A = this chain, B = another copy of it.
Amino acid sequence: MGRIITFGEILLCLSAPGAARLKQSKILEIDFGGAEANVAVSLAQFEEEVSFVSRLPENDMSAQAKMSLKSFGVDVKPILKGGNRMGLYYYENGAVYRSGKVIYDRDFSSMATIAPGMVDWDKVFEGADWFHWTGISPALSESAYYTTLEALKEAKFRGITISGDYNYRSNLWNWGKGHTEVMPELLQYCDIMSGIHPDVDIVKEGLSDALFEQAGEEMLGQYPNCKMVVFTSRGSVSASHNLWSGALYDGGKVYRSKQYNLTHIVDRVGTGDAFMAGLIYGLRNLKDKQEAVEFATASSALKHFIPGDQNICTIEEVHKLVYEDQRGLISR
């Protein structure tokens, strides 16, 4: 099997420890996040060969970011050096009625100032057969949007499978155009995409296959190249207690995962990325779409109990949750 390429921004994540608030904390814990980097890290834990394409300035913080990616086994050679600053965000974990909080400080970052022509796509895509991107990259800046478009064209031209995650962030998209103007053009390159979730109250109402079929059909109608639409369904009882399941529609059938009852959430950030990584792994390695969606959902369920942005669980741990033990027995 070939190499997987993800493209996007990696951010310095500075979090208040435990239940502390950003306003009161005197130390911040360092982690690194960003949707596409998270997908790359999780795939590397699943023993895929993954390269991450991005742009970073040269200083000790970006050095630590690359060291972190390398430690997880992600190839960082395609990361361009340049620009003046590394994007970052401050993070405060929520608890029950107190919402979690992300404060972005990513304007003017090295990745926001990436431009078409900078990346050597021939070299990046050598040996690759899968490309993953998200709606965050075109939201950063006009030049980042054009570079995303360039990447998609280059991937499509080489016959590489493309997965995309809509990942709408309302506080980005400040460079002139809105997501509804830009995303449709980009999404038409996708083979697999995340779908817009049916608007239901998951905690109170049920979810039916029909809902997903309808939502999926709409997407497939709009994007004829697309073969599959995936959905994650989160029901929020509180910041500490969610319901979580996944679904996949392939134009023919709806594949639904088990629903997980996430009762004492440790860290919600990166769970959508964990799902996408699990799905990509599943579609490439498991025997069918049902197994893939179960793997993706279990993998992202586990991420809720791992601090930090990245899902560092292994194939064995995910399989154990799907097939063996949902009771969290101590392994010794």
Contacts and interface: CB of A to CB of B under 8 A. Distances in A.
20 contacts: A14-B14, A20-B307, A22-B61, A23-B64, A24-B307, A27-B30, A61-B103, A68-B71, A70-B70, A96-B305, A97-B260, A97-B326, A99-B320, A99-B328, A101-B331, A107-B108, A108-B108, A238-B328, A241-B263, A268-B330
A310 to B, nearest CB: 9
A21 interface: yes
A103 B240 CA distance: 29
Contacts of A68: 71
A306 interface: yes
How many protomers of this protein does the assembly include?
A: 6
A28 interface: yes
Size class of the A contact interface (CB-based, 8 Å): 35 or more
A60 interface: yes
Contacts of A71: 67-68, 70-71
A225 to B, nearest CB: 30
B72 A302 contact: no
A25 interface: yes
**Chain A binding surface SS class:** loop
A123 interface: no
A317 B94 CA distance: 12
Contact of A306 (B60, B98, B269, B304): B98
Nearest to A63: B23
A102 interface: yes
A239 B328 contact: yes
A312 B23 contact: yes
